[in-house]
Homo-oligomer: A and B are copies of this chain.
């Protein structure tokens, strides 16, 4: 009909796969902990670094600033995260996990790894190359 093969079109396939994977995984942690996708991403990010700003997370996790800000507010209310002004630059908000937040992530990590293993199993021997490729796309800023 048209000279355009959707089943081979990368951005489309990527969106479908990513949505499916995110949806499946989100169902797991939402059912157990009542955490939204944005909240999960913020928590995951805070597991990597001691203290980061809203902007840091926004840039690296491909979430816009209001989304991060609101997720952080909800997580703070739930007791998983602390927000305090950065000492040297008071515009910045320092986000960090509380002990309760660390405990939550320690609890979720096995679920995350188990789900990931399930996905990687579907990929078989392509898994390492796939991960490497995703890394390339993540690191490049596409600028």
Contact B61 A16 (CB under 8 A): yes
Contact B48 A134 (CB under 8 A): no
From residue A24, how far is it (CB to closest CB) to chain B in Å? Answer: 6
In the complex, what distance in Å separates the CA atom of A7 from the CA atom of B137? 12
Contact B47 A6 (CB under 8 A): yes
Task: Find residues 2-54 in chain A having any chain B CB closer than 8 Å to their own CB.
Answer: 2-25, 41, 44-45, 47-50
On A, residues with C-beta under 8 Å from B are: 1-25, 41, 44-45, 47-50, 60-62, 102, 105-106, 109, 112-113, 115-116, 119-120, 122-124, 126-127, 129-138, 140, 142
**Known pairs A2-B105, A10-B134, A126-B136 / 4 extra A-B pairs, C-beta < 8 Å:** A9-B44, A10-B120, A13-B135, A130-B133
